[in-house]
Amino acid sequence: MDPCTSTPVKPLRLTGLPADLRNQIRQARTQRGWSQRQLGAAVGLPQSHISGIESGQVVPRFDTLLDLIRVLDLDLLVVPRSLIPAVQSLIRAQKEPDSAEKPLYAVDEETAESGGKDHDEF
């Protein structure tokens, strides 16, 4: 007997989108100043459906999720799990430029005040 066909694989049914994804959708919507009604109008859904998605009560179809993501100028990305920490670090650095590493050639305040000259002129 083939072990692959002996027990059927039951698909995992989500009870809601993961909280971080819902939060990103909500945050992208509010950053644009859009109400749930406006986002719904942009993708052809009623406000109540957008509310259900953001609260985790409604799991959108994949094509609906893609529509939402794209209209919010976001994208879904498939990343190998081993690279997730590196990708998350890049995202944090993009969101918080002050926390990113400083370049090795950073100009100090004294050099900046002298017009960028770090040597004596003769």
* Sign, CA torsion 7/8/12/15: negative
Give the CATH number of the domain where residue 82 resides.
1.10.260.40
20: its two tokens: 């971080």
End-to-end CA distance of the chain: 89
The answer to whether residue 57 sits within a structural domain is: yes
The answer to whether residue 41 sits within a structural domain is: yes
- What domain range includes position 25? 19-99
Residue 122 has pLDDT above 50, yes or no: no
Q: Whole-model pTM?
A: 0.64
The answer to whether residue 68 sits within a structural domain is: yes
Query: How many structural domains comprise the chain?
Result: 1
The answer to whether residue 13 sits within a structural domain is: no
The answer to whether residue 43 sits within a structural domain is: yes
CA distance 61 to 101: 40
pLDDT in tens, 3-40: 555 667 666 666 788 998 999 999 999 999 999 999 99
Higher-scoring residue by pLDDT: 15, 117 = 15
Residue 111 CA, chain-centre distance (Å), reads 38
